[in-house]
Amino acid sequence: MSGLHPTLLRLDALAAHLTADEHVQAVLGLGSAGIETHRFDEHSDIDFFVVVDNTATKEQYLRDVSWLVGFGGEVAHSFVNDPNGRKALFADGLFVEYAIFTPDQLAAVPIAGARVVWSRTESELAPGSPAVPSATAIDTVDFHLNEALTNLFVGLHRESRGERLTAMRFIQVYAVDRVLALVRLDPASHLDHPDRFEATRRIEHARLPTDLPLHRMAPGYAHNVAAAGAVLDWLTTHHTTNPSITRAIHHLIDEQQRPSPW
């Protein structure tokens, strides 16, 4: 397909790399890497599925990320964000999110707008019908910490693009939700009648072992960059974070705070 953004062409390069493995059946692009490639720009990440022949191959591809070399560049940070997949940040700034499925599993996945980047056969792939995916079942410090960091990363890129409302949600809602999950998992936290469906309930009345500056983490629509800095400060103060993703977030914050030359 011609006219693709140069960064998105790296997904084609990955697909070409994976053709050498006969267990890989297809590579699908999603989101702005799906059928709406016109939306892809320098602030986009690459969402994709890899379809493999069996569950043994799936487990291998989930466990070993060396195949991501097909994108070109070096993986600086990667973590499990879903039972079926991972997120990864490359040293050059490329950010990807992917899942691995067998054909039978793919048929049950609720997705829309998928694009076949490459398929080993001419047979029609059958992704499931559009639906809202269920919430992740992963409830660990590692997941919530890294999910918060990647929420900040994506949110700041959307702020750079001028998408302030979605940036606010990623930074001041999604990332803060992950902070609240980390607070909940801390055995030293004493929550006031915690609500299993709504983590924000009565958080102001909790007795916590550390300061939780919610007024700085959620200052509102016009203050996304400051909010991202506050959330990042809390995460790095109370948890050990991957230096590559942390540096990338600091860089985005610094870029936003730099005075305009005009």
Helix segments in the chain, DSSP class H: 9-18, 55-63, 103-106, 141-161, 164-168, 175-185, 214-217, 224-238, 243-257
Helix axes 243-257 and 224-238, enclosed angle (nearest 10):
150
Task: Name the CATH architecture for the domain at 9-119.
Answer: 2-Layer Sandwich (3.30)
Give pLDDT tens digits along the chain (262 positions): 458 999 999 999 999 999 999 999 999 999 999 999 999 999 999 999 999 999 999 999 999 999 999 999 999 999 999 999 999 999 999 999 999 999 999 999 888 889 999 999 876 565 565 554 455 558 899 999 999 999 999 999 999 999 999 999 999 999 999 999 999 999 999 988 877 778 888 899 889 988 999 999 999 999 999 999 999 999 999 999 999 999 999 999 999 987 765 5
Model pTM score: 0.82
What is the domain partition of the chain in residue ranges? 9-119, 141-257
Closest CA to 67 of 106, 24, 104: 24
